[in-house]
Amino acid sequence: LNRRLAGHGSTIFAEMSALAVKTGAINLGQGFPDTDGPEEVREAAVRALRDGRGNQYPPGPGVPELRAAIAAHQQRFYGLDFDPDSEILVTAGATEAIAASMLALLEPGDEVIAFEPFYDSYAASIAMAGATRVPLTLRAPDFRPDLDRLRDAITPRTRLLLLNSPHNPTGMVLTREEALALAEIAVAHDLLVVTDEVYEHLVFEGEHIPLISLPGMRERTVSISSAGKTFSFTGWKVGWVTACPALVAAVRTAKQYLTFVSAGPFQYAVAEALALPDSYFTGFREDLRGKRDLLAAGLARAGFAVHRPQGTYFITTDVSPLGEKDGVAFCLALPERCGVVAVPNSVFHDDPEAGRTQVRFAFCKRHETLTDAAERLAGLGR
């Protein structure tokens, strides 16, 4: 393994899911739903397969039906106009979009400022591009970004802000004021901005504001999203980029040599999913809101300090009220102690002290699974 990837050995999600399988514990670690997305969307994938749509290499930028559907979605939810031919690129999940963006936009030695705790592929993607990550720590209890610290962190080498809202793992959702301030900083320092918006439809408090919609941002922002979370098909790996033609062309150049194209039939199915009525999107959000409340209450009863998320499908807790000093040790012991798997937030930090006692639980699971998990966790203090 080369020096760039040293320290990125295996992802925490794979490790914790393997632990769940090995111990038979309830997996509230890796974020994936335990119920698949809408039947009609699955049927659309089957139809595409049967009708021979997408069984051979689809067009590099994505099938036209999906690009049109992504443009219509951006218009419907945010009033944004994107040209499906020059301003949209379909990728193999948001993960590839993030990696391709870093590879296409960064020079070795460039600095990238990203919120920490960060989704683990950010650190690896920045490293693969030979760039340096500069963390902007979101601190408990409310995980708001400290904009003065951000201003202080900017150097002549700073090239790009990699932002994520709704934020995994804290559940923080940027307010309009914060989004405007971030945009102003990006413009003032002439920075590129990559926004990871995979949880755009999971906002329980506040609203999702695409940074690309703000003044001065259209020409400097790469907006990324994915069908995995919104439609509960994380295994399909259909994601996308929306940006101005020059930025899409840059990201497409890198994507061409990573995967060339993404799986064809799923693209047709996601095109249909994006056209589902508004009731699907609100129903999905309200269902997850109920699950958030259910798990939050269970965790509080079990003695955790609960940081109530405004979005995503994760709850970050603090385990110190349980007398625990280290989230990693806590998570490694948890399956044996009570049959539940969670993820320690400290692995999403550069500074291991930051987030030392924070632990993340995913609530994208059936009600009975969450109730069962809460019951098991309640036994911890007994």
Q: Which of 151-159, 231-239, 260-268, 334-342 is the region at the interface with ligand PMP (rule: CB under 6 A)?
A: 231-239
- Contact by Cβ (8 Å): 87, 63: no
Structure tokens belonging to residue 184: 């102003």
Task: Note whether 239 binds ligand PMP by CB under 6 A.
Answer: yes
- Contact by Cβ (8 Å): 25, 340: yes
Residues 30-49, interacting with ligand GLN (CB under 6 A): 30-31
Task: Note whether 115 binds ligand PMP by CB under 6 A.
Answer: no
Which residue number, 155 or 256, has a Cβ lying nearer to ligand PMP? 256
* Rg of the chain taking only CA atoms, in angstroms: 20
Q: Cβ contacts of residue 182 below 8 Å, gap of 6+?
A: 145, 147, 150, 161, 163, 174, 193, 211
Instruction: Give the C-alpha separation, 202 to 36, whole Å.
Output: 17
Which residue number, 168 or 170, has a Cβ lying nearer to ligand GLN? 168
Binding mask 17-36 for ligand PMP (x = CB under 6 A): --------------x-----
Instruction: Give the C-alpha separation, 284 to 26, whole Å.
Output: 22
**Minimum distance from CB of 14 to ligand GLN (Å)?**
7
For residue 236, the one-letter residue type is W
Among 133, 229, 255, 291, binds ligand PMP (CB under 6 A): 229
Among 82, 119, 268, 304, binds ligand PMP (CB under 6 A): 119
Cα dihedral 147, 78, 118, 27 in deg (nearest 10): 140
Place of tokens 């995979």: 198
Residue 339 gets the label, from left (phi > 0), alpha (psi -120 to 50) or beta, of left
**Minimum distance from CB of 314 to ligand GLN (Å)?**
7
Parallel/antiparallel/unpaired status of strands 343-344 and 305-307: unpaired
C-alpha dihedral sign at 357, 362, 367, 368:
negative
Residue 77 binds which of ligand GLN, ligand PMP, none (CB < 5-8 A, kind-dependent): none
Q: Nearest Cα to 315, choosing from 210, 176, 168, 117?
A: 168
Which residue number, 158 or 164, has a Cβ lying nearer to ligand GLN? 164
**Minimum distance from CB of 196 to ligand GLN (Å)?**
10
Residues 255-284, interacting with ligand PMP (CB under 6 A): none
Residues 162-191, interacting with ligand GLN (CB under 6 A): 168
Task: Note whether 94 binds ligand PMP by CB under 6 A.
Answer: yes
Residue 170 binds which of ligand GLN, ligand PMP, none (CB < 5-8 A, kind-dependent): none
**Minimum distance from CB of 313 to ligand PMP (Å)?**
9
Residues near ligand PMP (CB under 6 A), total: 15
Residue 220 gets the label, from left (phi > 0), alpha (psi -120 to 50) or beta, of alpha
Which residue number, 44 or 342, has a Cβ lying nearer to ligand GLN? 342
Helix (H, G, I), strand (E, B) or coil at 334: helix
248: enclosing H helix or E strand: helix 245-258
Instruction: Give the C-alpha separation, 270 to 264, whole Å.
Output: 10
Among 101, 165, 168, 223, binds ligand PMP (CB under 6 A): 168
Task: Note whether 344 binds ligand PMP by CB under 6 A.
Answer: no
Residue closest to ligand PMP (Cβ): 93
**Minimum distance from CB of 98 to ligand PMP (Å)?**
6
Site residues, ligand GLN (CB under 6 A): 11, 13, 30-31, 168
